[in-house]
Amino acid sequence: MPVEKIPGWIERLLMPTLNEMKGELKAINARMDSTNQRIDSTNERIDSLRNETKIEISSLRTEMISKFEGMDYRFESINTRLDSIEKRIPVIEKITALELKMADLEKRLAVA
C-alpha cells in the first residue's frame, strides 16, 4: 500500500467512530449543563430557605425577648405589691392587737 492511501483508509475507518464519539460527548456536555442548572436552581432554593429560616428565627427571638421582658415587668409589679403587703402586715398586726386590747378594756369598763 502506498503511504498516500493510508490516511484516507484510516479516515474512512475512524471518522464514523470519531463522529459518534463527538455526538456522545455533546450529549454528555448537554446533560452536564442541565445537571449544573438543576444544581444552581437547587442551591438558589436552599439559599432562599436558609434566608427565610434566619428571618423566622430572628423574628421568634425578638418575640421571645419581648415576652420575657413583659414577664419581667409583671414580676416587678408583683414584687412591688408583695413588698407593699409585707410593709402593711406589721401595721395590721398592731391594729389587730390594739382592737383586742380595746375590746378587753371595753369588757372591763362594762363590768365595772
Q: Secondary structure of the chain in the HEC alphabet? A: CCCCHHHHHHHHHHHHHHHHHHHHHHHHHHHHHHHHHHHHHHHHHHHHHHHHHHHHHHHHHHHHHHHHHHHHHHHHHHHHHHHHHHHHHHHHHHHHHHHHHHHHHHHHHHHC
- The residue type found at 56 is E
Mean pLDDT of 59-76: 92
Which domain range does residue 67 map to? 1-83
- Within-domain flag for 104: no
Q: Identify whether 37 is part of a domain.
A: yes
Greater confidence (111 vs 90) lies with 90
Q: How many domains does the chain have?
A: 1
Please report whether residue 95 resides in a domain.
Answer: no
Which range in 69-73, 81-85, 97-101 is most confidently predicted, on average pLDDT? 97-101
Dihedral of the CA atoms 95, 101, 106, 111 (nearest 10)?
A: 170
What is the model's pTM? 0.51
Q: Is residue 102 part of a domain?
A: no
Confirm whether 99 is domain-assigned.
no
Tell me the per-residue pLDDT of 41-53, one tens digit each, with 9 for 90 and over.
999 999 999 999 9
Least confident of 17-21, 50-54, 59-63: 17-21
Distance CA 96, CA 94 (A): 5
Query: Is residue 25 over pLDDT 80?
Result: yes
Q: Which residues make Cβ contacts (< 8 Å) with residue 1, sequence separation at least 6?
A: 9
Query: Does the residue 67 lie in any domain?
Result: yes
CA dist 50 and 57 (Å) reads 10
* 11 inside domain: yes
Is 54 a member of any domain?
Answer: yes
Assess whether pLDDT exceeds 60 at residue 3: no
